């Protein structure tokens, strides 16, 4: 078995230029979302699968947002069903003129591959597609089943990608365990994601002439007081099980390295982003209306229902204010002691010298959909630096590391 493992690693080294060319082609095939048309980029993946003689299915409940699903049964007996996941769509480009090179160039230069979406997450999706193919070649030696899911409609948290597959093709795509290659940086394996919910608080007052401030409360000033009070809910902490609390406690440094200094302080607390404040229509009038849009992030172990009483109590201090409720995505997590975590840690450390810690993702990814379905889901990928930024790029070393770490980890998991 060791020889086979070695030969897989050797094959990846041998294929370096081909792997890099594949990623470059994938980046060149534009797939910004919005609008979310991924057909050109999906074709890069399916051309590769075709050439490799791998059967796949295109599942496209929305024609311009295809999802690619491929699967094979291992020949070495029963075992777990591992699912690989990545998305094909990427963030759009706001202003191409400020980029040093064409955002869709896919240039291979300076030891890097350049272009929009290369970090989030064409590097990862290219890596898992190649991982699937490497393991397809040695299927007779694997136990269980391996499934590849390359999906659309992720960047806008839309319904036509992974969400559609998990809801409508559950048996095919849920599996027993998910491995995603979203960017995490070398110090992190995500086993959990914070939750989020959105609220709009509207303050209405009579309003009036700007010179007659004694005649009416100002909606904007009431709003400012209310915003100040909302800081009180940032003291609410998540409820962690003992093993998760211990693991996160040990991972403080990795959390700060992965998410930026200070992240370990807020990771287990409710945080409030005052995302929009809209008030007033004219500079000599007292605003009669102020709208405050809140983006509330939930630590793992809490739901919106745990936090709303505190928000309602604050809003109740201001009789002019009322609350409208927006979308809710609950936090989600799985067992950080899962065997796949240990496999990823061991392989990452052997390849880079850095042992990643299982930590909580600050944002959200499609992996949550598997966790909502009761399936353990883990993410390990390239650097997160420069995600969705100008001159987005990934180093070739980092990309090839992700290919190798995923291939060897999926191999180890399916040969346990």
Is the CB of 162 or the CB of 403 nearer to Zn ion? 162
Nearest distance, CB of residue 336 and Zn ion, angstroms? 21
The token pair that represents 156 in the structure block: 């806008």
Residues 156 and 295 sit within 8 Å (Cβ to Cβ): no
Range 114-143 burial, b when 16+ CB lie within 10 A, else e: bbbbbbbbbbbbbbbbbbbbbbbebeebbb
How many angstroms separate the CA atoms of 384 and 182, rounded?
Answer: 9
How many angstroms separate the CA atoms of 174 and 406, rounded?
Answer: 19
Is the CB of 185 or the CB of 238 nearer to Zn ion? 185
Is the CB of 44 or the CB of 270 nearer to Zn ion? 44
Residue whose C-alpha is closest to residue 385's, from 393, 374, 396, 375: 393
Is the CB of 120 or the CB of 153 nearer to Zn ion? 120
Nearest distance, CB of residue 193 and Zn ion, angstroms? 12
Q: Which residues make beta-bridge pairs with 148? A: 70, 84
3-state secondary structure of 118: helix
Nearest distance, CB of residue 292 and Zn ion, angstroms? 29
Is the CB of 121 or the CB of 334 nearer to Zn ion? 121
Nearest distance, CB of residue 365 and Zn ion, angstroms? 6
Nearest distance, CB of residue 120 and Zn ion, angstroms? 4
Site for Zn ion, rule CB under 5 A: 120-121, 182
Residue in the block written with tokens 């995302």: 275
Is the CB of 121 or the CB of 408 nearer to Zn ion? 121
Nearest distance, CB of residue 363 and Zn ion, angstroms? 9
Nearest distance, CB of residue 103 and Zn ion, angstroms? 17
Is the CB of 55 or the CB of 94 nearer to Zn ion? 94
How many angstroms separate the CA atoms of 352 and 34, rounded?
Answer: 36
The token pair that represents 71 in the structure block: 């699967």
16-28 vs 39-51: helix crossing angle, rounded to 10:
150
Between β-strands 67-73 and 145-151, what pairing exists: parallel, antiparallel or unpaired? antiparallel
Beta strands in 233-288 (DSSP E): 271-279, 285-286
Nearest distance, CB of residue 119 and Zn ion, angstroms? 9
How many angstroms separate the CA atoms of 71 and 136, rounded?
Answer: 9
Is the CB of 25 or the CB of 120 nearer to Zn ion? 120
The helix or strand, by DSSP H or E, that contains position 220, with its residue range, turns out to be helix 219-230
């Amino acid at each position: 078995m060791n020889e086979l493992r070695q030969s897989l690693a050797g094959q990846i080294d041998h294929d370096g230029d081909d792997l890099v060319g594949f990623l470059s082609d994938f980046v060149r095939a534009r797939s910004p979302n919005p609008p979310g048309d991924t057909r050109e980029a999906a074709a890069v993946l399916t051309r590769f699968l075709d050439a490799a003689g791998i059967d796949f299915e295109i599942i496209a409940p929305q024609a311009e947002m295809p999802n690619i699903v491929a699967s094979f049964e291992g020949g070495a007996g029963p075992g777990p069903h591992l699912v690989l996941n990545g998305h094909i769509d990427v963030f759009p480009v706001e202003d191409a003129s400020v980029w040093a090179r064409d955002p869709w160039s896919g240039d291979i230069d300076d030891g890097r591959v350049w272009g929009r979406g290369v970090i989030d997450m064409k590097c990862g999706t290219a890596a898992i597609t190649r991982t699937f193919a490497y393991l397809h070649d040695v299927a007779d030696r694997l136990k269980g089943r391996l499934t590849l899911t390359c999906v659309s409609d992720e960047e806008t948290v839309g319904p036509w990608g992974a969400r559609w597959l998990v809801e409508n093709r559950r048996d095919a795509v849920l599996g027993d365990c998910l491995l995603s290659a979203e960017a995490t940086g070398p110090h992190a394996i995500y086993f959990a994601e914070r939750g989020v919910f959105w609220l709009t608080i509207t303050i209405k007052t009579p309003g009036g002439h700007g010179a007659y401030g004694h005649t009416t409360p100002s909606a904007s000033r009431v709003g400012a007081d209310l915003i100040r009070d909302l800081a009180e809910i940032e003291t609410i902490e998540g409820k962690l099980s003992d093993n998760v609390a211990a693991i996160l406690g040990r991972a403080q440094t990795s959390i700060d390295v992965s998410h930026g200094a200070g992240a370990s302080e807020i990771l287990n607390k409710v945080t409030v982003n005052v995302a929009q404040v809209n008030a007033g229509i004219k500079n000599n009038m007292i605003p009669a209306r102020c709208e405050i849009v809140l983006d509330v992030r939930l630590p793992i172990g809490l739901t919106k229902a745990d936090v709303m009483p505190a928000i309602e109590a604050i809003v109740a201090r201001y009789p002019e204010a009322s609350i409208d409720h927006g979308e809710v995505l609950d936090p989600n997590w799985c067992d950080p002691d899962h065997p796949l975590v240990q496999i990823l840690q061991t392989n990452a450390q052997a390849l880079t010298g850095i042992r990643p810690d299982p930590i909580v993702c600050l944002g959200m990814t499609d992996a949550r959909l598997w966790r909502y379905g009761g399936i353990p889901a883990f993410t390990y990928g390239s650097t997160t630096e420069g995600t969705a930024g100008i001159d987005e790029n990934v180093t070739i070393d980092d990309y090839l590391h992700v290919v190798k770490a995923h291939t060897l980890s999926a191999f180890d998991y399916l040969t346990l």
